[in-house]
Every structure is written in C-alpha cells, then in structure tokens.
Amino acid sequence: MTKLLDPNRSVLVLIDYQTRLMPAIHDGDRVLNAALFIAQVARELGVPVLGTTQQPRLLGPNDERVSSLCEHVLDKTHFSAVADGLLEAIAQHAPGADQIVLAGCEAHVCLMQTALEVRQAGYASHVVAQACGSRRAEDKAVAMRRLELAGVTPLCAEMLAFEWMRACTHPSFKTVLANIKSQPLD
C-alpha cells in the first residue's frame, strides 16, 4: 500500500544538475525549472534537500541555483549515489526520513541507478518525472517506465507540493500556490 508523502518523513535528492551537462539535456531548461520548483517547495516546507555531482572536475558544479537550495552536496564517481555515501548523508541530514524523493540527470543512468538502489535499501522511493532529464527523450521515457515497474513511485511536481501540504489551510499554502502560478505551464 502506497502512503501519502509526509514532509516530516521525506528528503529530496537532486542528482547531477551540472553546468556542463545541462545544455545537452533534452528540454534542459524545463527540467531545471522543475527541479528548482520542487527544491523551493521542499525548503518552504522544511524538507531537507540534498544534491549530488558526478565527477564535478569534469562536468562542473551543479547549477548555482540548485546548489543554493541544497543543505549538502555529495560528489560521486559511481553512477548510483548510494555507492558514494548517499544513504549515510540522508541519515546525517534527514534523520528518520524513510520517503526519498529523487529527481535528476541523466534519468537513464545516475538518477535511475540511485533510485533503484534507494528502493533496494528499503526506502520508499519516488521520482519527479518533470524534473528528470536525459540527452534523448526516449532514454528518459524508458528509465521512467523501468523505475515504475521496479516499484519506484512516479510523481509530478505539483502533485508533490500538494501532497506534502495536504490542505489549503497549510501555513505555506499561499506561498507555494504563488510559486505554482509563476511556473510556465508548458
């Protein structure tokens, strides 16, 4: 049975929104904007935000807007961030979190391998599809399908925001709603 996401039990992990990689990502600006949106919502609601970078010496740092929203950024050499200490970083920066929300690039490599290993480690694993990207759209589509078949729950960005808030009486509702209304619809 799938439980609704709870901001008190969640952590957001943003994978490899790196300056040298993003220009090659299909719809990279839309993917990055979706990542920024979910990170801003997470911060507003008190959900810890962690980031990763793949070989930053070669692919550059994360986009500075992403980095500014992360409490911690894990540099990695493995495609899955789990192999380079992601679970330990979650335990340190989000103790008690058992709902891991992920987004990132490339969807069919680093994002997918990390999400699968997070799920394999026993965490509820969720992926925000709009905030994921690959160089080729078909690679992202196959990755999203494989993740869903493996039990990783797909989300869209607004779904995540409203699920974390639960009601229009949430103290951050107006702030989050204003952020939603400022997002481009396409």
CA 30 to centroid of chain Cα atoms: 14
The pTM assigned to this predicted structure is 0.96
C-alpha dihedral over 175, 181, 182, 183, to 10 degrees? Answer: 120
**pLDDT at residue 1, as a whole number:** 46
- How far apart are the C-alpha atoms of 142 and 183, rounded to whole Å? 26
Computed on alpha carbons and rounded to an integer, the radius of gyration of the chain in Å comes to 15
Name the CATH topology of 7-176.
Rossmann fold (3.40.50)
What is the tens place of the pLDDT at every residue in 148-174?
999 999 999 999 999 999 999 999 999
DSSP string, 138-184: HHHHHHHHHHHHTTPEEE-HHHHHHHHH-STTSTTHHHHHHHHHTS-
What is the tens place of the pLDDT at every residue in 33-45?
999 999 999 999 9
Residue 32's SS3 state is helix
Region of poorest pLDDT, from 2-11, 42-51, 99-108 = 2-11
- How far apart are the C-alpha atoms of 122 and 45, rounded to whole Å? 24
User: Is residue 80 within 8 Å of residue 69, measured between CB atoms?
Assistant: no
Q: pLDDT class for 182, splitting at 50, 70, 90?
A: confident
**pLDDT at residue 183, as a whole number:** 79
In the chain, where are the structural domains located?
Answer: 7-176
| Backbone angles phi and psi of 40, in degrees to 5 | -65, -40
Alpha-carbon distances, residue 109 vs 15, 23, 43 (angstroms):
11, 17, 26
Tokens for 140? 């992202």
- How far apart are the C-alpha atoms of 31 and 103, rounded to whole Å? 9
